Structure 1
């Protein structure tokens, strides 16, 4: 059974076990099956899934959040994201806490006591012609309870240039959160709202095209008009609803790597 949960319907479970003798939890794979195993040390001895590993949901990404939970995040191409959280039970064995279904994942990171996934998708806002505005869609997985909540903010004209955006990576440093902001061209909604932001009408697609995550429809600008500029948003509070500081440079293109619909982090905290 797959469930979606929030902190509001949290049901008590045994407290996570942080016994030093089983304090190392390792994600491993054998014959295409994913496991979590424990080990008392990473410096000596051996660890094996044979007879000791706990079979788990195979994760595209694993996020180990402090001492309480490990989260498996699964990229399902164009489909909805799935995931799971695990904790150590009283016997020191990795145990499933929750299974999740949430908005598709194109990037992820941590912020405070939350594991965060992000993608860009349809909002509930439309214009008079029925064109749908795009939003940044967030999932928050709580490190203390394993619970899940969701949130969204406008992705349209985020940078003031009329383009919709997505985020690539989340990096915490110096009490702030940094994320690369990636412009992705103009939607039909965006062109209708900010027609003066179209730099060249020849960029507007005359017909549908592309495929999979690169598909587009007529009447949109399929890719950014600003390929030679990078933006980073800096949040000082604790919510994406707050207005961030935006810094930019024309020394590089947008600060992320990409493969299909996945946006990979290329900004990191320095010493």
Structure 2
């Protein structure tokens, strides 16, 4: 019996070691492209063309000077991206949570049909409706404004779906009934009782919504024409002038500046992503 237990212990140890090695290898493969990007931001064009390197170089300041010598203004791009991303994230998370609350708490005739319609909307890519959306914004004279990049976030089908599943797993309808008996209004109940219950899911979806809005290139590139309103991804995509055609280090510097805030957000709030996904996938 003791021999069998020792064999089982050794087998578990080997399996655990294999799992750790595979996970560490996959993590390194995921990190490698970003590390190469940050390293190339410190290298000159000649060094980048000479081959791959994982060791930072000494041309960081030179690349920065070349990058900011023309139309690239990282401060304006950062502020524009932050305004759009933060505002659209608040709109997406709050109104999607409110919609999910209505789908779970209220029992009305077309509830399942409405939810099915939301799922169908998730299957339509933004590119398919881009022409019609641009024409509509042009008629409203919003083609050079942040509004068409913020207001559509109110309708976020994927976030509605996630929030609904989360509420089905965690929300007890007796809490809502008790609040109504105590005289609480519907919006007061949602804001003061339901939102705190949904906070792990709210934090998770806020991170994903912020990252998606920050990385959005397609619609800002179409709608924004004033250089003072460009976002960071748009500025980086337009690094094609004569001075940048041979300055690969400066281009990598622009890419690194675009990605750096997202790394900071992920490192600071990663625990909310894990908690939100875990809780949202458990049905009690």
Superposition TM-score, scaled by structure 1 size: 0.20
Larger Rg: 2
Q: Between Structure 1 and Structure 2, which shows a larger proportion of helix residues?
A: 2
Higher relative contact order (CA 8 A, sep 6+): 2
